[in-house]
Amino acid sequence: MTDNTKVGIELEMLVTDQEGKLSNRADEILESSLNPGNIVKEGTYSLVEFVSDPCNSLEDLEKDMRTGLKNIKTIADSLGLNTVPLSDIGPDGRNMRREGDGRYNVNSRIWGKERIKIHNTICGTHIHIDKQDENIKQYNLVESLDPVFVMLSSSPFLQGQNTLNSCRVNAYRNKIFGEFPLHGQLTDYLEDASQRDRRDMIRYDQWIRVSGIGEEAKEYFSIDDTCWGPLRERQNTMEARANDTNLPSNILAAAAFYKGINDHVFRKCLDIRVSRDDCDYYADEEKIMLPSYKTLKKLESQGIRYGLKSDIVHDYLSYLTDMAYDGLGNEEKRYLSPFQAMIKYRRNMADMMKSHALSKGYTPGTRLDSQTACEINNMIYNLYSDDIEGKLDYESVLMN
């Protein structure tokens, strides 16, 4: 089932004023008469989310996304606001406001004050792709693509501090969900549907048990939505959730990446296997050998810390990007150009943001000040504004 494989995206964005300062006016964007329903509420009053339609092609997705994002920009402009595809990188995330509801209050109780504060400040991208009939094999295939989060890393800072290339992925998996690996970390490959169902039920029961309100928590959670991890199987799609928010061209590249690899494997009816050896992966005319879970965890650790500077991460993502290119139609291959540029220069958006901060006087090991954070917000906003108009040369951005 690969003909007209549908793809869709959810893109979370930060709301700032036009000086780049955090704003708690997201509701004004949501309540605009110009909102057709694809701009939806997110975790705080400082975030909004754009949700695309399920699209039959990358070209359709591009049209839908650019139209939707231009509309959000029109609304925000009229309110004197900007929407920026970034997590909050500065020290001012504590100023974010959120009106609690039952679900949010349960999560706050479980995570605690510091972890919910981190959760409130980070923005991601979710990419949906049509579910195949062989959904367990597809689940494992998509899980093996987890290191692609490096290509979308836009969070070199967390609460003003720079210690990693991908602070958001580290915060999500190792801080917020450090005590709840089934709920937010990269879990092992699946063997069959019964194992999946057992894992889902264990995860759900654990969350209800630690909620502090017993059976009442079932009003706010389902078995499906107690998973905040890198991959969630939905009713009709595989939802890849690992990635940071990013510029539209890079989001389209990520959609092309997932679609291209999915179509390459299932059109060729390749047998999907998991290697038992360290750093062993390949594809031939009969099968694709996925890296072991141990290797995925090594790639995760290296990707979080070093990004594309890590040789094993760079080599693996080069291999996957080439496979995605082979799986796309000739008219769709162009969407991978941002990924190809990153492979070429071994730089992602996080590297570019850190370089900009250093040029403004940021000293490694210190906390990013509010003014520099605002300047970076506005720099990314200007790139974003060019991008939604189709005027951005991503390779030139990486070289600066």
Q: How far is CA 357 from CA 9, 31, 233, 304, in A?
A: 29, 35, 38, 19
The DSSP element (H or E) to which 400 belongs, if any, is none
Rg (CA), the chain: 20
**pLDDT of the residue at 146:** 98
Compute the Cα dihedral for 25, 31, 37, 42 and give only its sign.
positive
Q: How far apart are CA 111 and CA 184, in angstroms?
A: 12
**E runs forming strands in the chain:** 7-17, 39-41, 47-51, 81-84, 124-130, 231-233, 237-244, 271-274, 282-283, 287-290
Residue 37: count other Cβ atoms within 10 Å of its Cβ.
Answer: 6
How much is the pLDDT for 397? Answer: 86
Cβ atoms 234, 139 nearer than 8 A: no
Averaged pLDDT, 309-331: 98
Does an H or E element contain 34, and which?
A: none
Amino acid at residue number 26 = A
* 8 Å CB contact between 128 and 122: no
Number of alpha carbons in the 13 Å side-chain half-sphere of residue 238: 27
Contacts of residue 213, Cβ cutoff 8 Å, sequence gap at least 6: 106
How confident is the model at residue 99, as a pLDDT? Answer: 64
Separation of alpha carbons 337 and 77, rounded Å: 30
- Which residues have C-beta within 8 Å of that of residue 205, sequence separation ≥ 6? none
- Specify the pLDDT at position 224: 86
| DSSP-assigned letters across all residues of 147-187 | GGGGGG---S-BTTB---S-HHHHIIIIIITTT-HHHHS-P
Domains of the chain as residue ranges with CATH: 7-399 (3.30.590.20)
What is the predicted pLDDT for the residue at 43? 81
CA dist., res. 313 & res. 300, Å (int): 8
Using a pLDDT cut of 90, give the percent of the chain over it. Answer: 86
- pLDDT, one tens digit per residue, over 73-84 is 999 999 999 999
| pLDDT surpasses 90 at 384 | yes
CA distance 124 to 102: 23
Distance CA(377)–CA(375), nearest Å, equals: 5
- Could you report the per-residue pLDDT of 272-305, keeping only the tens digit for each? 999 999 999 999 999 999 999 999 999 999 999 9
pLDDT in the model for residue 94 = 61
How high is the pLDDT of residue 353? 96
Going 373 to 378 to 381 to 386, the CA torsion angle's sign is negative
pLDDT digits (tens, 9 = 90+) for 208-258: 999 989 899 999 999 988 999 999 999 999 999 999 999 999 999 999 999
Q: How confident is the model at residue 93 (pLDDT cuts 50, 70, 90)?
A: low
pLDDT of residue 95 exceeding 80, the answer is no
The pTM for the full model equals: 0.96
Q: What is the pLDDT of residues 164-209, one digit of tens each?
A: 999 999 999 999 999 999 999 999 999 999 999 999 999 999 999 9
For CA atoms 122, 344, 313, 5, the dihedral sign is positive
Q: Please give the full DSSP string across 247-290, using - where no structure is assigned.
A: -HHHHHHHHHHHHHHHHHHHHTTPEEEE-SSTT--EE-SSEEEE
2 — pLDDT class (breaks 50, 70, 90): low
The pLDDT value given to residue 100:
67
- Residue 394's pLDDT is 87
Q: How far is 153 from 51, CA to CA, in rounded Å?
A: 20
- Position of tokens 């062993």? 280
Q: What is the pLDDT of residues 337-374, one digit of tens each?
A: 999 999 999 999 999 999 999 999 999 989 999 999 99
Give the pLDDT band (50/70/90) at residue 3.
low
**Does residue 124 sit in helix, strand or coil?**
strand
Q: Classify the C-alpha dihedral 309-315-320-321 as positive or negative.
A: positive
